[in-house]
Amino acid sequence: MDITSINNNLTASTLGTAATSNSTSGTASSSNSTLGAAATSNMALDESQFLQLLTTQLQYQDPLNPMDSTDFTSQLAQFSSLEQMTNISQQMSDMLQAQNYTLSANLIGKNVTVSNNSVSLASGGTATISYNLAQNASTVTASLYDANGTLVNQINLGPQNAGNDSFVWNGNNSGGQALPAGQYTVQIAATNASGQSVTSSTMTSGTVTGIAINNNTTYLVIGGQTQVPLNNVQQINAGGS
C-alpha cells in the first residue's frame, strides 16, 4: 500500500478501516520515507493519527521486502519530535494561563478601564462610561439599554475631540427616575461636521471584585456583575478602588 494513499484516504474517523478496503500491498516499503513527510505536511495530523499510519504501514509491508531499519528509526524519531513539540506547546499554554491567573488576582480591588459596552449599575449608584472617537465629532450621543434591549435613556454629550473621553451616568432614565441595579448596555453614536458617522468604541471603568475562568479564558468580574476577558483591559487606574 502506498503510504501517500494512506495519508490522503485515512482520516481520524476512518483510519482503522480504510486499510481493509484496499487490497494493494507490497509497495509500502518503497515509500517508507513519506510517512514523516505526511506528518509534517498535514497540520491536522496528531500523535495518535501518526502512530496509526505507522502501524498500518507495518501491517501491509511486503514480507519479502520489509521496511528498512534506518527508515523505521527515522520515523520513530519524527514521532518523538512531534510528541515533544506537542508537550512544549501544552506547557507554554499552561504557563500563560498561570500568568493570567496571577495578574488577574493582583487586579482584585483595582479600578480598571476595559473595552466593553456593558455597564454595571449598583442600586442608587452611578456609572463612569469611557469611549474613544476616531476623529473630531460635532455631535455625540450615548444611548443606554436595559437587559431586555429597551432604550431607557439617551444623553447628548455635545461636540467632542478625537481620542478618549468619559462621562458619568447618574443611573436615571430619560424621565429622571432612578433605574434598578443591574446590567445595562451603552452605545455611542457620533457624527462629524459633514454629518458622516464617526467610528467609536466604548469602555467602562470599575473595581475588579473577582475573577472567573470559563473555557480556559480568564475573565475579570467588574463591580460584582460584569465579566470581561482579561485581554480587554485598557488601563489600570491610579488610586486603586
Q: What is the pLDDT of residue 83?
A: 67
Better-predicted residue by pLDDT, 238 or 64:
238
Cell numbers of 102, please? Answer: 496571577
SS3 content of the chain, % helix, strand, coil (to 5): 35, 35, 35
How does residue 187 score in pLDDT terms, banded at 50, 70 and 90? very high
The correct CATH number of 108-236 out of 3.40.50.2300, 2.30.30.40, 3.90.1150.10, 2.60.40.4070 is 2.60.40.4070
| Average pLDDT rounded to a whole number, residues 105-121 | 84
Residue 200 has pLDDT above 90, yes or no: yes
Looking at residue 198, what is its pLDDT?
96
Residue 13 pLDDT more than 70? no
State the average pLDDT for the chain: 74
CA angle 152, 155, 160 (to 5 degrees): 150
User: How would you label 175-195 residue by residue, b for 16+ Cβ within 10 Å and e otherwise?
Assistant: eeeebebeebbbebebebeee
pLDDT tens sequence across 124-135: 888 888 899 999
Decide if 60 contacts 67 (C-beta within 8 A): no
Burial class (CB in 10 A: 0-12, 13-18, 19+), 59: exposed
Q: Which residue has the higher pLDDT, 201 or 86?
A: 201
Residue extents of the structural domains in the chain? 3-85, 108-236
Band (207; pLDDT cuts 50, 70, 90): confident
**In this predicted model, which residue has the larger pLDDT, 189 or 241?**
189
Lowest mean pLDDT among 21-30, 152-161, 198-207, 208-217: 21-30
- Confidence check: pLDDT of 109 > 80: yes
| pTM confidence score | 0.49
Least confident of 9-18, 133-142, 223-232: 9-18
